[in-house]
């Protein structure tokens, strides 16, 4: 072995690339089952009320039907449990009673010999509903607002100084209302699940962002020992937060498989996926900013409202970020949830920061306009060495370096600050920018590493491959630290039979996993160096490492096995990654068609293990941010509290033709505080800020300030 750790940061293509393009990569939905039965979901046609009665006679008469689960024959077979760590906040609320909480709620599961039979029989399940008028969203009669601080013990609205007094005193101020729509993850792999009982054990093939979390939740629901539940999730066909927690479908399919004594596979429809899992809830914001003539912030007031379901208190509360990002002596925030008759929302890429930073960063742009100041310079004047609320110094902060790099690459100096002043033919051109920020998280992780001095290694870790490159960076760390050719490294991940490695969310996974793997490599090196045997003839070295980073609880590594996620809590430093997002939009003067012609982002997130996969992550986030700003919205029929574009043709999202040019720049940054490898994570950072950069560019192109997403042709007429 040689000292090769300097190779971290060298570009490597995906180790699983070949398996993916040749179809050898088996996603959970691809795993072949022996003699499977198939499930089809019957979902509620009303959003609120109860089930008076089922008539299953016609459905049961379909040849090949094996079982039909309803609340009448299933309640009591499982225990309702909140999701692990409150990951999705929602209780299991299906087949427990006759109560209907939301449109599209699972009310029956039909199991049959074939998928077609199950579907046919599901269409013959007759339901007598007792209908109540639902509340669809904000402003619906019956929607109930609650301040988050009154319902969540661990929540306090961040504040400092006296913001209202400072706002009243100031002479330059803005006051704006902003809103973002409901959005759905729409991963290409549907929310399917397959359950197999074998010798008293339950094996579940289901894509997951936390196999031990899903294992723990399912074991509690079914009253089993966690050791008797196995989750297999080798690849994940799109996560984005949607697979962070358990949903009710898995327990239902496990019960069905037990009853019919056969493996059961559920493949829901795309429309059902809008209501049987989570989504990003619609939000509203009021932001008031006040500044001195030189641009220094005097007051920042951010109020937020978020929709949630009737029974759950899910919230994201992005003021934790917006209150801290700029230097401001007087900050006040307040977040409320609004209960409506909807399915429970959940994590979706940068859950708090995406909507809340949209509001703040549009407001900053409006303040720059009011001050007649360049928006980058306004952010420079308010750059901070410590967070505004707790006054903790940033472990590192390269925000303005990111702005400088991105501005140069983008050509910001070509911008005429006057709105609606730049054009090319019939196209009005606008430049906009915004800050991106996301907490630098890390948690505990366990790993087993076997090293063969003949030149190979094997890593076993229940990490998750969401398409982000987890296997590639793990293999890269081992290749660097043990000087093993990357093609001789096997990475086993995505199974609850492997050492628990936490929740792949919150941009914590790469740092959690890589720091654990690096520590295991160091342990191998120490053992090899300490043995007296000639390395050429030495045998295998196997180590098992529990990595508990500074700032995590002492039992965090062990607790992962019970499905409890681990996150650092640093009371000495504010840990954030930063970025600067730039967008050029073109708005047709006559038709008001909007095109995002160029996206440029520069990001500083500490050590980058692999620039190939990191850049892909950031580009994906930027494209999604643009897509969310201009296209994406789950449309809601307000009378029936029902999603009406629950398919991939009506739910608009960016395709290649919508993204002519996107550039993600990695700004070097060294951070010795966040963790030994100095990693901050890039999974969510790329989406934050792009919503506002687009909205600010649309304003610059047209002179019209649109504060409601998505911005479409009709917003500009």
Closest CA to 515 of 622, 416, 443, 612: 443
Return the range that interacts with ligand MOS (CB under 6 A); candidates 96-104, 341-349, 540-548, 689-697. 341-349
What is the Cα–Cα distance from 364 to 615, expressed in whole angstroms? 27
- Tell me whether residue 684 is one of the annotated catalytic residues: yes
Residue number with CB closer to ligand MOS (140 or 283): 283
Return the range that interacts with ligand MOS (CB under 6 A); candidates 238-246, 282-290, 411-419, 472-480. 238-246
Q: Supply the minimum distance, in Å, between the C-beta of residue 286 and ligand MOS.
A: 25
Q: Sheet of 264-266: strands edge to edge?
A: 65-70, 106-112, 37-43, 264-266, 193-198, 201-205, 229-232
Q: Supply the minimum distance, in Å, between the C-beta of residue 353 and ligand MOS.
A: 10
Assign 220 to helix, strand or coil: helix
Q: Which residues pair with 541 in a beta bridge?
A: 451
Closest CA to 399 of 496, 327, 317: 327
What is the Cα–Cα distance from 640 to 644, expressed in whole angstroms? 10
Residue number with CB closer to ligand MOS (107 or 473): 473
Q: Supply the minimum distance, in Å, between the C-beta of residue 512 and ligand MOS.
A: 13
Residue number with CB closer to ligand MOS (230 or 504): 504
Q: Supply the minimum distance, in Å, between the C-beta of residue 363 and ligand MOS.
A: 24
241 binds ligand MOS (CB under 6 A): yes
348 binds ligand MOS (CB under 6 A): yes
Q: How many CB atoms lie within 10 A of CB 485?
A: 10
Return the range that interacts with ligand MOS (CB under 6 A); candidates 88-96, 306-314, 346-354, 358-366. 346-354
**Which segments within 562-700 are labelled E, that is strand?**
576-588, 594-604, 636-637, 642-643, 662-666
Residue number with CB closer to ligand MOS (349 or 575): 349
One symbol per residue from 242 to 261: x for binding ligand MOS (CB under 6 A), - otherwise; what is it? Answer: --x-----------------
Residue number with CB closer to ligand MOS (263 or 681): 681
What is the Cα–Cα distance from 75 to 97, expressed in whole angstroms? 7
505 binds ligand MOS (CB under 6 A): yes
Angle at CA of residue 223, ends 220 and 229, nearest 5°: 70
Residue indicated by tokens 């980073």: 549
Q: Which residues within the stretch 451-490 sit at the binding site for ligand MOS (CB under 6 A)?
A: none
By the 8 A CB rule, do 610 and 473 touch? yes
Contact residues for 186 (Cβ-Cβ < 8 A; gap 6+): 238, 270, 273, 648, 651, 653
Angle at CA of residue 78, ends 76 and 84, nearest 5°: 145
Q: How many CB atoms lie within 10 A of CB 22?
A: 8
Residue number with CB closer to ligand MOS (348 or 685): 348
Residue indicated by tokens 């225990």: 79
- Which listed residue (158, 351, 443, 621) binds ligand MOS by CB under 6 A? 351
Q: Supply the minimum distance, in Å, between the C-beta of residue 279 and ligand MOS.
A: 11
Residue number with CB closer to ligand MOS (430 or 689): 689
Cβ-based burial of 126 (10 A; exposed 0-12, middle 13-18, buried ≥19):
exposed
Q: Supply the minimum distance, in Å, between the C-beta of residue 507 and ligand MOS.
A: 7
What is the Cα–Cα distance from 643 to 271, expressed in whole angstroms? 9
Q: Supply the minimum distance, in Å, between the C-beta of residue 349 and ligand MOS.
A: 5
Assign 57 to helix, strand or coil: helix
209 binds ligand MOS (CB under 6 A): yes
Return the range that interacts with ligand MOS (CB under 6 A); candidates 256-264, 347-355, 589-597, 697-705. 347-355
> Pick the catalytic residue: 227, 669, 684, 708?
684
Residue number with CB closer to ligand MOS (244 or 494): 244
Cβ-based burial of 307 (10 A; exposed 0-12, middle 13-18, buried ≥19):
buried
Residue number with CB closer to ligand MOS (178 or 240): 240
Q: Which residues pair with 554 in a beta bridge?
A: none
Residue number with CB closer to ligand MOS (505 or 636): 505
What is the Cα–Cα distance from 622 to 581, expressed in whole angstroms? 8
349 binds ligand MOS (CB under 6 A): yes
Q: Supply the minimum distance, in Å, between the C-beta of residue 556 and ligand MOS.
A: 18
- Which listed residue (355, 453, 499, 506) binds ligand MOS by CB under 6 A? 506
Q: Supply the minimum distance, in Å, between the C-beta of residue 577 and ligand MOS.
A: 14
- Burial pattern 579-612, b for ≥16 Cβ within 10 A else e, equals bbbbbbbbbeeeebebbbbbbbbbbbbbbbbbeb
Return the range that interacts with ligand MOS (CB under 6 A); candidates 129-137, 221-229, 237-245, 317-325. 237-245
Residue number with CB closer to ligand MOS (402 or 688): 688
Phi and psi, residue 211, nearest 5°: -65, -35
Q: Supply the minimum distance, in Å, between the C-beta of residue 468 and ligand MOS.
A: 10
What is the Cα–Cα distance from 166 to 549, expressed in whole angstroms? 41
Return the range that interacts with ligand MOS (CB under 6 A); candidates 220-228, 344-352, 554-562, 618-626. 344-352
Return the range that interacts with ligand MOS (CB under 6 A); candidates 141-149, 234-242, 302-310, 437-445. 234-242
Tokens of 317: 């509360």
Phi and psi, residue 258, nearest 5°: -70, -45
Return the range that interacts with ligand MOS (CB under 6 A); candidates 30-38, 110-118, 155-163, 342-350. 342-350
Q: Supply the minimum distance, in Å, between the C-beta of residue 285 and ligand MOS.
A: 19
One symbol per residue from 105 to 124: x for binding ligand MOS (CB under 6 A), - otherwise; what is it? Answer: --------------------
Please give the residue whose beta carbon sits closest to ligand MOS in the complex: 241
347 binds ligand MOS (CB under 6 A): yes
Catalytic residues: 684
Contacting positions for ligand MOS (CB under 6 A): 209, 239-241, 244, 347-349, 351, 505-506
């Amino acid at each position: 072995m040689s000292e090769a750790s300097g190779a971290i940061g060298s570009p490597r293509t995906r180790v699983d690339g070949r398996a993916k393009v040749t179809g050898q990569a088996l996603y959970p939905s691809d795993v072949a089952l022996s003699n499977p039965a198939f499930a089809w979901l019957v979902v509620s046609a009303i959003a609120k009320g109860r089930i008076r009665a089922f008539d299953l006679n016609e459905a049961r008469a379909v040849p090949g039907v094996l079982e039909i689960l309803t609340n009448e024959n299933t309640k009591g077979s499982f225990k309702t449990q909140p999701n692990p760590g409150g990951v999705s906040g929602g209780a299991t609320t299906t087949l427990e009673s006759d109560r209907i909480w939301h449109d599209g709620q699972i009310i029956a599961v039909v199991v049959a010999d074939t998928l077609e039979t199950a579907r046919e029989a599901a269409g013959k399940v007759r339901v007598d509903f007792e209908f109540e008028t639902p509340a669809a969203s904000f402003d619906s009669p019956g929607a109930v607002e609650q301040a988050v601080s009154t319902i969540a013990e661990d929540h306090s609205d961040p504040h400092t100084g006296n913001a209202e007094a400072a706002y009243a005193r100031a002479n330059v101020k803005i006051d704006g209302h902003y809103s973002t729509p409901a959005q759905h993850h729409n991963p290409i792999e549907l929310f399917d699940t397959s359950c197999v009982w074998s010798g008293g054990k339950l094996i579940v093939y289901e894509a997951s962002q936390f196999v031990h979390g899903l294992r723990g939740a399912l074991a509690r629901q079914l009253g089993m020992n966690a050791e008797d539940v196995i989750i297999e999730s080798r690849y994940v066909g799109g996560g984005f937060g949607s697979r962070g927690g358990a949903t009710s479908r898995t327990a239902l399919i496990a019960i069905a498989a037990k009853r019919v004594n056969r493996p059961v596979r559920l493949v829901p429809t795309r429309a059902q996926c809008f209501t049987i899992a989570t989504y990003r809830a619609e939000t509203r914001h009021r932001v008031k900013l006040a500044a001195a003539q030189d641009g220094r912030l005097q007051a920042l007031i951010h109020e937020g409202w978020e929709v949630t379901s009737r029974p759950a208190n899910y919230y994201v509360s992005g003021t934790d970020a917006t209150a801290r990002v700029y230097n401001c002596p007087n900050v006040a925030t307040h977040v409320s949830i609004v209960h409506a008759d909807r399915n429970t929302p959940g994590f979706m890429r940068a859950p708090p920061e995406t909507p809340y930073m949209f509001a703040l960063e549009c407001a900053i742009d409006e303040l720059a306009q009011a001050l007649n100041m360049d928006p980058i310079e306004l952010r420079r004047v308010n750059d901070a060495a410590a967070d505004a609320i707790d006054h903790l110094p940033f472990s590192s902060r390269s925000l303005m370096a990111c702005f400088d790099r991105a501005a140069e690459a983008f050509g910001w100096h070509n911008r005429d600050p006057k709105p609606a002043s730049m054009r090319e033919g019939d196209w009005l051109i606008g430049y906009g920018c915004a800050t991106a920020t996301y907490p630098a998280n890390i948690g505990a992780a366990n790993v087993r590493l076997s090293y063969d001095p003949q030149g190979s290694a094997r890593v076993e870790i229940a990490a998750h491959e969401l398409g982000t490159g987890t296997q590639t960076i793990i293999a890269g760390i081992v290749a660097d630290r043990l000087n093993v050719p990357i093609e001789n490294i096997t990475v086993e991940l995505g199974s609850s039979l492997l050492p628990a490695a936490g929740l792949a969310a919150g941009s914590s996974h790469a740092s959690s996993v890589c720091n654990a793997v690096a520590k295991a490599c160091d342990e191998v090196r120490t053992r090899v160096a300490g043995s007296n045997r000639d390395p050429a003839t030495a045998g295998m070295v196997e180590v098992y490492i529990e990595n508990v980073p500074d700032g995590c609880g002492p039992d965090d590594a062990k607790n992962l096995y019970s499905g409890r996620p681990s996150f650092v809590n640093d009371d000495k430093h504010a840990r954030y990654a930063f970025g600067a997002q730039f967008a050029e939009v073109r708005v047709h003067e006559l038709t008001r068609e909007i095109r995002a012609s160029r996206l440029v982002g520069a990001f500083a997130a500490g050590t980058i293990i692999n620039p190939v996969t990191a850049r892909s992550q950031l580009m994906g986030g930027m494209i999604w941010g643009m897509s969310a700003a201009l296209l994406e919205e789950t449309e809601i029929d307000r009378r029936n509290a029902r999603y009406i574009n629950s398919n991939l043709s009506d739910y608009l999202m960016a395709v290649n033709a919508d993204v002519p040019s996107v550039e993600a720049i990695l700004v070097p940054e060294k951070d010795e505080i966040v963790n030994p490898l100095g990693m901050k994570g890039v999974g969510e950072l790329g989406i934050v800020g792009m919503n506002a950069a687009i909205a600010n560019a649309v304003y610059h192109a047209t002179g019209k300030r649109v504060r409601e997403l998505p911005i479409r042709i009709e917003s500009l007429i």
